[in-house]
């Protein structure tokens, strides 16, 4: 080693630090009570599909979980793994008590991790998946389940998959922590999907409701994949968070949004007041902004930064003057506005404040 190289100083951990670390581990260990089950594919799928239409199935997918996002090729690869007898990751479910006192306990199991696998098995057994893109078992490409010989169908149905069941003794914090840690795999949930799993509540339900409002859908075009990933709810959350706290924003967007969301879930909030602010803003944009929040007609994507600037700026202006009629919105095409809404340094506090107040001040002129 040359003398020019820097050598990190040796760090010695004292006995006091070791003791403090052990205490920290003990204090933060949670009660994780669980059982391990092993079910044949046929039984597992039956527990999922029986009562599915009436939302009474024993194993169910909560609404905060993502829709089917695996491609047919990825689904086929999973089915191929079962045919080959390869190890299959555990499916995690939680045994949840009724939400409200007095409700009937149906002993349902909420899927925490494994929705794509469950849906894939269901599709395959229902002949809605035609196998494709398989490398090891190329001869099975283009097969549906019903195309298999009866003997192979039965053997596939008897294949077993293991399941971890968190019992109702595992508290809510444990379930949420598990949900967040598990969903960091190869196709992880995006931030909004995680928030639904970690911080459910009336305010999160409001975000979903407003994200589906026809006026919002028309004014804020998004691709179908963005909609499936709950991007509309992300946009609505950003609107409220910046509207109420934009001057307190720091560079960490996720932390900013998560903190705001948690604060609204903890206390009593006037949902109608939130609706009114959102609807007034939408009505104004729909009346005076020909392209809504997008840059031009026909666009299927709305930049987040542009949406934040326009929506929050409009709402702030309306709070000062409810009967506002703008003299012009030509400033939307100005170089100044374009500079404020580019991605460069978009998460700095000064730029967040500038772009929002730029819209507000131009509308109030």
Look over the chain and give the mean of its residue pLDDT values, rounded to a whole number.
84
222 and 166 within one domain? no
160 and 297 within one domain? no
Residue 11 lies in a domain: no
Domains: count for the chain: 2
178 and 224 within one domain? no
- In 3D space, the residue among 170, 145, 76 whose CA is nearest the CA of residue 116 turns out to be 76
233 and 146 within one domain? no
Q: What are phi and psi of 216, to 5 degrees?
A: -65, -45
Instruction: Give per-residue pLDDT as tens, 169-199.
Output: 666 566 666 666 665 544 455 677 666 666 6
Domain C-terminal end among 161, 185, 209: 185
HEC readout, 73-125:
HHHHHHHHHHHCCCCCCCEEEEECCCCCCCCCCCCCEEEEECHHHHHHHHHHH
Q: What is the model's pTM?
A: 0.54
Domain carrying residue 317: 190-365
Task: Please tell me the predicted confidence (pLDDT) of residue 1.
Answer: 46
- By mean pLDDT, which of 123-127, 141-145, 343-347 is the weakest? 343-347
Residue 34 lies in a domain: yes
336 and 203 within one domain? yes
Residue 22 lies in a domain: no
Domain C-terminal end among 141, 158, 185: 185
Domain C-terminal end among 125, 160, 185: 185
Residue 23 lies in a domain: no
| Rounded Cα gap, residues 202 and 206, in angstroms | 6
> Per-residue confidence at 161, pLDDT binned at 50, 70, 90?
very high
179 and 51 within one domain? yes
Q: What are phi and psi of 207, to 5 degrees?
A: -60, -45
342 and 361 within one domain? yes
349 and 212 within one domain? yes
């Amino acid at each position: 080693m040359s003398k020019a190289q820097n050598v990190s100083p040796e760090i010695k951990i004292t006995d006091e630090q070791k003791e403090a670390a052990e205490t920290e581990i003990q204090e933060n260990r949670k009660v994780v009570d669980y059982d391990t089950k092993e079910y044949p594919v046929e039984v597992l799928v039956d527990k999922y599909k029986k009562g599915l239409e009436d939302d009474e199935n024993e194993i169910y997918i909560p609404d905060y979980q993502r829709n089917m996002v695996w491609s047919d090729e990825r689904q086929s690869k999973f089915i191929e793994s079962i045919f080959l007898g390869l190890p299959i990751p555990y499916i995690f479910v939680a045994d949840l008590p009724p939400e409200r006192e007095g409700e009937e306990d149906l002993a349902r199991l909420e899927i925490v991790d494994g929705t794509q696998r469950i849906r894939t098995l269901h599709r395959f057994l229902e002949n809605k998946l035609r196998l494709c893109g398989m490398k090891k078992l190329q001869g099975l490409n283009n097969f549906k389940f019903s195309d298999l010989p009866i003997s192979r169908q039965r053997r596939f149905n008897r294949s077993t998959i293991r399941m971890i069941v968190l019992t109702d003794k595992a508290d809510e914090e444990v379930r949420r922590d598990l949900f967040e840690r598990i969903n960091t795999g190869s196709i992880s949930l995006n931030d909004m999907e995680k928030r639904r799993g970690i911080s459910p509540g009336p305010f999160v339900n409001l975000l979903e409701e407003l994200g589906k409002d026809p006026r919002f859908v028309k004014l804020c075009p998004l691709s179908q994949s963005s909609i499936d990933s709950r991007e509309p709810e992300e946009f609505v959350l950003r609107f409220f968070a910046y509207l109420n706290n934009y001057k307190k924003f720091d560079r960490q967007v996720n932390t900013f949004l998560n903190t705001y969301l948690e604060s609204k879930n903890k206390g009593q909030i006037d949902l109608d007041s939130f609706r009114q602010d959102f609807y007034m803003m939408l009505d104004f944009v729909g009346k005076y902004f020909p392209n809504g929040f997008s840059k031009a007609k026909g666009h299927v994507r709305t930049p987040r930064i542009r949406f934040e600037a326009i929506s929050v700026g409009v709402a702030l202006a309306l709070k000062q003057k409810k009967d506002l009629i703008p003299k012009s919105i030509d400033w939307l095409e100005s170089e100044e506005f374009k500079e404020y809404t580019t991605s460069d340094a978009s998460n700095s506090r000064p730029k967040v404040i500038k772009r929002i107040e730029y819209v507000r001040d131009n509308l109030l002129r």
